[in-house]
Amino acid sequence: DSGVTQTPKHLITATGQRVTLRCSPRSGDLSVYWYQQSLDQGLQFLIQYYNGEERAKGNILERFSAQQFPDLHSELNLSSLELGDSALYFCASSPGGMTDTQYFGPGTRLTVL
Amino acid sequence: AQKVTQAQTEISVVEKEDVTLDCVYETRDTTYYLFWYKQPPSGELVFLIRRNSFDEQNEISGRYSWNFQKSTSSFNFTITASQVVDSAVYFCALSESFPYGNNRLAFGKGNQVVVIP
For residue B97, the chain A residues in CB contact (below 8 A) are 98
With pLDDT > 70 as the criterion, what percentage of chain A qualifies?
A: 99
Alpha-carbon gap, residue A18 to A64, rounded angstroms: 10
In tens, the pLDDT along B80-103 reads 999 999 999 999 999 876 555 567
| Stretch A84-97: mean pLDDT | 93
In tens, the pLDDT along A36-84 reads 999 989 999 999 999 999 988 998 999 999 999 999 999 999 999 999 9
Give the per-residue pLDDT at B79. Answer: 96
| Stretch B59-73: mean pLDDT | 88
Would the pLDDT of B115 be above 90? yes
**Phi, psi for residue A63 in degrees, rounded to 5:** -75, -10
**Vertex A100: Cα angle to A94 and A105 (nearest 5):** 35
Alpha-carbon gap, residue A82 to A66, rounded angstroms: 18
| A93 Cα to chain B: minimum distance (Å) | 11
Interface contact flag, B43 A107, Cβ < 8 Å: yes
Quickly state the pLDDT bin for B30 (edges 50, 70, 90).
confident
Quickly state the pLDDT bin for B1 (edges 50, 70, 90).
low
Mean pLDDT of chain B: 89
Give the per-residue pLDDT at B60. Answer: 76
Interface contact flag, B45 A90, Cβ < 8 Å: yes
CB atoms within 10 A of CB B66: 22
Instruction: Say which of A2, A45, A105 has its CB closest to residue B104.
Output: A45
For residue A104, the chain B residues in CB contact (below 8 A) are 37, 44-47
Interface contact flag, B33 A35, Cβ < 8 Å: no
Q: What burial class does residue B101 get, using C-beta atoms within 10 Å of its C-beta: 0-12 exposed, 13-18 middle, 19+ buried?
A: exposed
Contact B9/A at CB under 8 A: no
Interface contact flag, B104 A107, Cβ < 8 Å: no
With pLDDT > 90 as the criterion, what percentage of chain B qualifies?
A: 64
Residue type, A89: Y
Quickly state the pLDDT bin for B58 (edges 50, 70, 90).
confident
| A17 Cα to chain B: minimum distance (Å) | 25
For residue A8, the chain B residues in CB contact (below 8 A) are none
| A92 Cα to chain B: minimum distance (Å) | 9
For residue A58, the chain B residues in CB contact (below 8 A) are 104
How large is the C-alpha radius of gyration of chain A?
13
